[in-house]
Amino acid sequence: MGGEMRLTYFNARARAELARLLFKLAGKEFTDRRVEGEEWTALKPSTPKGQLPILEVDGKMMCESGAICRYLAREFGLYGSDNWEAAICDQILDTVDSVFQNIVQIKFTAKTEEAKATAMKNAVSNIEGLEKLVYSFKKGAFLLGEKASLADAAIRNITEYFAALPELKLESYPTVKAIASNFAAIPAIAEWIKTRPETNM
């Protein structure tokens, strides 16, 4: 990795915000490109899968939000200190991704009240699982000790959706809540949260 990195997504947090948080946590410059409408229509055919986000690095392009975040975490030294800690980060990431998919169903794709209720039940169950994992792994102010990692960023990122869904009460998950607020208090992250574009999702 040498030159500038450019992250392209829509004007939303959704599948790009974790990558943005990693740039901010690492103190690395990047271009936060947000496209819409005709600009996206024109860009779509040149993307690997016709979807965003994409990350461009030294003229090369990658897709898939999970791959992008893992790549950035490896580049920035935010993936734990060994393979075991990387696997701890992965367990958190995969659990958080399940919660995110449940939230997308609740907010957008569930067609019936029944489907919505099932997605909510699954979200609660996945967040309970997240709390259990975080409780069992937590070694300090952050999951892996006193240095924040990809895992803490992912935890903070997912909790930002809870406020819009009254059934998901952050207070019910105290270890998740503690990590999320410790992460948000890191000065570069606090500054980003204060100044980033405001979006619904």
Ligand X SMILES: N[C@@H](CCC(=O)N[C@@H](CS)C(=O)NCC(=O)O)C(=O)O
Of residues 5, 7, 13, 14, which one binds ligand X by CB under 6 A?
14
Q: How far is the CB of 55 from ligand X (least distance, A)?
A: 10
Tokens 């309970």 found at: 128
Closer Cβ to ligand X, 131 or 160, answer by number? 160
Torsion sign across C-alpha atoms 113, 115, 116, 117: positive
In eight-state DSSP terms, residue 197 is: P
Q: How far is the CB of 164 from ligand X (least distance, A)?
A: 17
Query: Dihedrals φ, ψ of 63, to 5°?
Result: -120, -175
Residues in 32-61 that interact with ligand X by CB under 6 A: 44, 50-53
Q: Which x/- pattern, by CB under 6 A, does the window 58-97 give for ligand X?
A: ------xxx-------------------------------
Q: How far is the CB of 187 from ligand X (least distance, A)?
A: 29
How many CB atoms neighbour CB 8 within 10 A? 21
Distance from C-alpha of 195 to C-alpha of 134, rounded to nearest angstrom: 29
What angle do helix axes 113-137 and 150-159 make, rounded to 10 degrees?
150
How many CB atoms neighbour CB 9 within 10 A? 24
Amino acid at 197: P
Q: How far is the CB of 123 from ligand X (least distance, A)?
A: 18
Q: Does 199 bind ligand X (CB under 6 A)?
A: no
Closer Cβ to ligand X, 51 or 172, answer by number? 51
Distance from C-alpha of 101 to C-alpha of 118, rounded to nearest angstrom: 12
Closer Cβ to ligand X, 67 or 117, answer by number? 67
Closer Cβ to ligand X, 48 or 174, answer by number? 48
Reading the block at residue 148, the tokens are 């924040």
Q: Does 13 bind ligand X (CB under 6 A)?
A: no
Residues that bind ligand X (CB under 6 A): 14-15, 44, 50-53, 64-66
